[in-house]
C-alpha cells in the first residue's frame, strides 16, 4: 500500500483526460468526491455530478496539449496522501485562438480496503476524495492568438483541429504512434533514425530520414541544422547560434541558416 503509486495515477488520469478519454479520470474517484475548480460551477460535490459537469466537456472541438509536467506525492497518514501536479496546458480553440496557462492540480487520496456498502463501489485501492485546480498565466507567456503566425501555418493548425488529422509513425519497437504535427517540438536525426520529441517531452524513435520528415511536415518546420528540424511555433529565443525552445531545450543553428530563421521569426511576430 505505497502512496507513491498515486503520483503515476495522477499523471495517467490527467493525460488521459486531456486526450479525450475521461474513463480513467472518473474510475479513481470516490462516490463522494468534491472538486474545487475554476470558472462557473467552482465547487461540485459527488462523482455523478462531476460526470454531468465534466464528463462531456472534454469532447468539445477544443484541442489540448500538455508540456512541462511534474508531479509529487506526499503522505499524510498510512491511508491518506496528496499529490501536486503542475503543468503547462495549451488550449487550441475552434475560433483559431490559443491560450496557454500554468495549471496546478492538488489531489487528495484515501486508501480503502473495501468501500462502505451502498456506495456502489467495491474496489480496493486508492480513491480521489478531493480535487483542487488552480491556474495562472506565466508573465512571459500571455494569452496569444494564432494571428501572429503566417496564414498558411494558421490554416494548417485550424485544419488539424477540425479534422483531428494525425500522422502515423512506426517506432523502433514496432509500435504505431499517431501524432499531430502541432504536437512535435523538434526532430533530431541520427543516421537513418530520427528522434521525434513532442510537447509532452516524449521521444519516439523512427527509422526515417530527416529530409523525408521535412518534406512531409511542411513550412511550419525549419531545418535549422543538418541534424535538426524544429517547429517554429516553439522557438522562444535565439542566443548566438542556438535556438531556445519553449521547453528550454537548446537546438543548434548552422551559420548558413541563422539569417533565414531570424527573418522567419520576425515575420511571424509582425503578423
**pLDDT tens digit string along 159-180?**
544 444 568 888 888 888 878 7
**pLDDT tens digit string along 76-100?**
888 899 999 998 888 887 766 777 7
Prediction pTM value: 0.50
Instruction: Name all domains of the chain by residue range, CATH numbers in brackets.
Output: 5-136 (3.10.450.50), 149-270 (2.40.50.1020)
Average pLDDT (191-218) is 86
Distance CA 106, CA 159 (A): 35
Average pLDDT (190-215) is 86
pLDDT of amino acid 67: 79
Amino acid at each position: 500500500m505505497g502512496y507513491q503509486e498515486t503520483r503515476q495515477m495522477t499523471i495517467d488520469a490527467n493525460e488521459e483526460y486531456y486526450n479525450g478519454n475521461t474513463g480513467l479520470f472518473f474510475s479513481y474517484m470516490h462516490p463522494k468526491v468534491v472538486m474545487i475548480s475554476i470558472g462557473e460551477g467552482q465547487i461540485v460535490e459527488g462523482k455523478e455530478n462531476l460526470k454531468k459537469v465534466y464528463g462531456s466537456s472534454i469532447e468539445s472541438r477544443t484541442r489540448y496539449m500538455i508540456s512541462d509536467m511534474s508531479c509529487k506525492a506526499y503522505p499524510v497518514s498510512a491511508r491518506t496522501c496528496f499529490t501536486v501536479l503542475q503543468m503547462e496546458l495549451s488550449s487550441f480553440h475552434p475560433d483559431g485562438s490559443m491560450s496557454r496557462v500554468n495549471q496546478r492540480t492538488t489531489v487528495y487520496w484515501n486508501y480503502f480496503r473495501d468501500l462502505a456498502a451502498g456506495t456502489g463501489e467495491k474496489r480496493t485501492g486508492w480513491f480521489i476524495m478531493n480535487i483542487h485546480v488552480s491556474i495562472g498565466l506565466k508573465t512571459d507567456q500571455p494569452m496569444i492568438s494564432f494571428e501572429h503566425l503566417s496564414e498558411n501555418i494558421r490554416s494548417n493548425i485550424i485544419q488539424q483541429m477540425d479534422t483531428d488529422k494525425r500522422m502515423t509513425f512506426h517506432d523502433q519497437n514496432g509500435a504505431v504512434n499517431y501524432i499531430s504535427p502541432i504536437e512535435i517540438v523538434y526532430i533530431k536525426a541520427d543516421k537513418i533514425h530520427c528522434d521525434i520529441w513532442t510537447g509532452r517531452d516524449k521521444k519516439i524513435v523512427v527509422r526515417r530520414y530527416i529530409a523525408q520528415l521535412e518534406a512531409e511536415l511542411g513550412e511550419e518546420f525549419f531545418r535549422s541544422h543538418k541534424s535538426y528540424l524544429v517547429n517554429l511555433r516553439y522557438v522562444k529565443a535565439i542566443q548566438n547560434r542556438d535556438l531556445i525552445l519553449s521547453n528550454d531545450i537548446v537546438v543548434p543553428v548552422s551559420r548558413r541558416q541563422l539569417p533565414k530563421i531570424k527573418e522567419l521569426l520576425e515575420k511571424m511576430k509582425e503578423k
